[in-house]
Chains A and B, each alone.
Chain A
Amino acid sequence: MTAYLGDVVNAVYVVAVIAFILGLKAMSSPETARRGIVYAGAAMLVAVAVTFVSPGLSNFALIALGVIIGGGVGWYWARVVQMTAMPQMVAVFNGMGGGSAAAIAAVELLSTLSNPTTSSLSLAGAIIGSISIAGSVVAFLKLQGWMRQKAIAYPGRQPISVTVLAVGVALGVYAVAGLNAIWLLPFFVLLLLYGVLLTLPIGGADMPVVISLFNALTGIAVALDGFALVNGPLGDAGYAMVIAGTLVGAAGSLLTILMSRAMNRSIRNVIFGAFGATEEVGGAVQGSMKPIDVDDAAVLMAYANEVIIAPGYGMAVAQAQQKVKELSDVLEAKGVAVKFAIHPVAGRMPGHMNVLLAEAGIDYSKLFDRDEIDPEFANADVVLVIGANDVVNPAARRQGSPLFGMPILDVDRAKNVIVIKRGQGKGFAGIENDLFYKDNCRMLYGDAQQVVGKLVTALKKS
């Protein structure tokens, strides 16, 4: 009976893993993306359910309690949170996965410390899982605004981080080699500290890349835990973790590379660059910021042939996407051609702007990638920048600027540029924006939602 049940459990894991692979494949194409998550979700449900009934386990009440608490909190939190907060939600749930992997490794280490194979695998899983949870939580705090978002740099940060990592790993190895579990406590503390130190110097603008990296790391930690579990009492669960974890590790690594490529930076540069922590010296900014009021801006747009809207994080924060949709409708009713220029890393995640504009009901065909829209800017009468900063900063074209080399939207080539901005502060990268000082640029200060709302009203009157 037990052997029979074991076969069923095994078969279910195989099916689940195949469904994960198919699901992830489906998610990489817009037509089938929704189907993909449903496949993967069903597979997860079944895999978890059979693990419950698999032979040889105890502590059922505790397991049920844990699933209900964790599952309930995760479900509720993800449901109620604002759409703009999605990037940090990915970070926090990824961190939970990493923490879970680290905790599993800890249990494995405590129960089978004497087995060198499983111990070394668990140790590796514990290292990566701990870095992932600590780093993801810092990323969450930064994106949520509960912590200083800019890169936090301090002298000697690299030697300090490396020392923390080295001592931590050494303690872990010592614990495993000397069969002395007491050293695991400082091991975990130091590894968690390393995850924090690793993420602190990374500026907010690079967070998507970092979250993607931690996502891949969690996948690897899960795979390592799986390897350690394969020899245990429920080896099949281990195999499922190995395959699914490796899948995420590979897909996540590729995504990380794609994202940093979109910003024209190497992953090494993102992690060790402490980007934006240093102020640019001797920046060649000339002129002054010139404000414009709502009515003048409305007139400028009403008599334009073509208006290109370049949204950024400010639009997301202000929840202005509905008003932006209204603005685009009003302008089109007046015969103005409206297009949207989407920078690949506008917002806090690739595709962030597409998601929000799609939510507001703006047609896909009006959204253009950077490559497609770039030649258009010279023809546009007005470019309306809504809460974007670094991705439209022409300083990126200037050698010596910290932004140098990052592909930007060349909005400054348009006849007029109107920038909707909350205040005179700098962008996420903490760099002065040359655009705001240009002769063809006017600043429209205020909350994006309110300002765009006023623009709509003014346009309807005119």
Chain B
Amino acid sequence: MKMLRHVAALILFALPAHAAVDIKQVTSPGGITAWLVEEHEIPFTALEIRFQGGTSLDAHGKRGAVNLMTATLEEGTGEMDAQGFANARDSLAASYRFEAGTDSVAVSARFLSENRDQAVDLLRQALVAPSFEQSAVDRVKGQVQSILQSDAQDPNAIAARIFDTETFGDHPYATSGNGTADSVAALTRDDLVAAHKAAITRERIYVSAVGDISEAELGKLLDDLLGDLPETGAALPDAAPWNIKGGVTVHDFPTPQSVVYFGHQGIKRDDPDFFPAYVLSEILGGGRFTARLMDELRGKRGLTYGAYAYLAPMDHAELLVGRFATANATVGQAIDVVREQWSKLATEGVTQAELDATKTYLTGSYPLRFDSNAAIANILVGMQMEGLPIDYALTRNEKVEAVTLDDVRRVAARVLRPDDLHFVVVGQPEGLEQ
């Protein structure tokens, strides 16, 4: 029997040392790697698994297959039908969540120490050998169709969909990962089996565990749970095109308040300018009342309940997007304010006071995220997916601190392009030229 291999990296925050989060890398005898924080105070474990690829792995003409497959994982395995599976899970007081995202399928589990082996084995059956029994597929399809119908009438979903459709051409990003009414209706059980083979594999898997579990126990768990999955799956799609140009698109929708979704191309997560851009986006569009958009649109003018903009670096495209909602009569005014702030930041940069306050906020708030087993497990799996080193938590605040006023000015001029901003307005805006 192979010995359990592991490397440990001690992560200590700048804040009080007794809160050290000790992140260890564990590699199972079978070669599966995970990041672990042992925390034995509460007798349960939070486990996060990501299968990179997600709904972007949908085969041509099978949009929605990965999503429907993921949603049907918990609907029966082996001798158990959907109710049998739910009963078994509930008897163990375990919980499993399966979610298909644009770039990954996420599995989140939590289980008690006292019946860990049974809870993991039940999860294994769902992941490795789901039944995809026809009546379960049909039932879940009905639920997905219901979500699609709701999205079709939800101004926020409509706005984002229009933006993506105009932006991403024939890339999967252009359409909803849930599929369309027609594509979902056409999906068969065979399509789900194929999507399962394509998306749930060991090829691009990331795992983290936080809680009442040792390195050796986690090593065994990884092999028990994931060892039977196929080695490889479908190839990832290519980079997405960026087709949308600056301008305004209005989608008529009967509502007193318009939703405005806007943006242009952003910056990659591994770009050397990412940190200055991140600090910039926080100053521009963060949720704090002092952020530019929030202050100008809400604080100074009372035009909206909230306005945000943020960087969204995805696997195959990078966005800088934002949103707000305002009365139909004030859409034009609000869009002018956004454009004006965009230009102002691009030409003038930010003030030293804004930069200092934002850095203090970002560095001070970072350690506060590590406040529960569930939260830490999420953070650790996210770090791995972004390709960050295991000691990233130690160096992240230094990277924020290192951002200078000149960096922000330079990156603002590069990243913020007011003429490229495209606004999608869903509502009945008054006096707005398209």
User: Do A and B associate with each other?
Assistant: no
| Chain B contact residues, CB within 8 Å of chain A | none
| Chain A contact residues, CB within 8 Å of chain B | none
